[in-house]
């Protein structure tokens, strides 16, 4: 008996949402995942999420949505996130932040715990130490679920990789988000925790991390603030399919999944 989890990287803007609508149903048919999770921190106009868009994404076939440093990018989201049962905020934000710090999903009589940890290095929104937060979450959630999977939403590859080794053999998988560039280090660590530094982005890839190229280039050239609209072209979906053993809580395999790649 095994469980399959499809974990999809940051959904960016309308192109990213349309990619979910277009490709998740066929991914479900092809791979038959038991759970499909995606990071939705950029789903609304490239920054943040709304209750209506969360519901749209769930209707397209996602089981749960995670967030990151752009969590508060849409006005009023703090007032509604608490009512969204399949959306979780990063677990290591201050305790007083609204939103549930993890998800517990059920399928086939098994439970999957999912939590996002924010990196502490180079982020515009920092949480508590992700290593210590991971320890606390494991203590809290391991007795409650069959499999536990964490997402590390962070800028530094070193921080993500170090956390992977720190958690090896203690959780089913650690996958990275936030940098929007899929990494080719997809692997099972020696003690059977599945790992990838970054899942990549679901959105327009003729872009700089999902934003139109020219304004971003101009911003680097003159260092002046300006609007950075979401790009449109070359839409791709990136994620990982992780096979998990509910008897051990560890992983049996992990592979990169993509759609829209020429
Ligand atoms: Fe992102
Ligand atoms: Fe982010």
Catalytically annotated residue among 70, 153, 178, 205: 70
Instruction: Please name which ligand lies nearest the alpha carbon of 69.
Output: 2
What is the model's pTM?
Answer: 0.98
- Which tokens belong to 152? 């590390």
66 Cβ partners below 8 Å, 6+ apart? Answer: 37, 38, 39, 40, 41, 87, 88, 90, 103, 114, 116, 151, 153, 177
The Cα–Cα gap between 98 and 4 comes to 30
Surface-to-core class of residue 183, CB atoms within 10 Å of its CB (0-12 exposed, 13-18 middle, 19+ buried): middle
The Cα–Cα gap between 187 and 76 comes to 39
pLDDT at res. 126: 85
Q: What angle do CA 192, 183, 17 make, to 5 degrees?
A: 105
Instruction: Please name which ligand lies nearest the alpha carbon of 43.
Output: 1
Can you give the residue ranges of every domain in the chain?
A: 3-259
pLDDT at res. 24: 98
Separation of CA 247 and ligand 1 centre (Å) = 33
The Cα–Cα gap between 256 and 240 comes to 4
pLDDT at res. 188: 98
178 is catalytic: no
Strand 235-245 and strand 3-8: the pairing is antiparallel
Separation of CA 57 and ligand 2 centre (Å) = 18
- Which protein residues have their CB within 5 A of the ion that is ligand 2? 68-69, 178
Separation of CA 180 and ligand 1 centre (Å) = 6
In sequence order, the β-bridge partners of residue 2 are none
What is the Cβ-side half-sphere exposure of residue 196, based on CA atoms within 13 angstroms? 27
Separation of CA 256 and ligand 1 centre (Å) = 18
Please identify every stretch of the chain with a pLDDT value under 50, giving residue numbers as ranges: none
Separation of CA 47 and ligand 1 centre (Å) = 8
* CATH T-level assignment (fold) for domain 3-259: Purple Acid Phosphatase; chain A, domain 2 (3.60.21)
């Amino acid at each position: 008996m095994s469980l399959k989890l499809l974990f999809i990287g940051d959904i960016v803007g309308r192109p990213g949402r349309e990619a979910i609508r277009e490709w998740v149903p066929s991914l479900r048919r092809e791979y038959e995942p038991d759970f499909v999770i995606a990071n939705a921190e950029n789903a609304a106009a490239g920054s943040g999420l709304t209750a209506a868009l969360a519901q749209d994404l769930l209707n397209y076939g996602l089981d749960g949505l995670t967030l990151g440093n752009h969590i508060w990018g849409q006005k009023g989201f703090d007032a509604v996130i608490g009512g969204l049962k399949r959306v979780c905020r990063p677990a290591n934000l201050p305790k007083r932040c609204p939103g549930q710090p993890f998800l517990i999903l059920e399928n086939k009589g098994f439970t999957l715990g999912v939590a996002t940890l924010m990196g502490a290095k180079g982020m515009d929104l920092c949480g508590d130490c992700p290593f210590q937060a991971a320890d606390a979450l494991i203590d809290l959630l391991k007795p409650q679920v069959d499999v536990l999977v964490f997402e590390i939403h962070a800028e530094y590859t070193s921080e993500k990789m170090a956390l992977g080794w720190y958690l090896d053999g203690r959780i089913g998988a650690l996958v990275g988000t936030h940098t929007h560039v899929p990494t080719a280090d997809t692997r099972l660590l020696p003690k059977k925790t599945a790992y990838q530094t970054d899942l990549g982005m679901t959105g327009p890839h003729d872009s700089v991390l999902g934003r139109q190229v020219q304004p971003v280039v101009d911003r680097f050239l003159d260092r002046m603030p300006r609007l950075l609209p979401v790009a449109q072209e070359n839409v791709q979906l990136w994620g990982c399919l992780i096979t998990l053993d509910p008897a051990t809580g560890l992983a049996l395999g992990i592979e990169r999944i993509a759609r829209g790649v020429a």
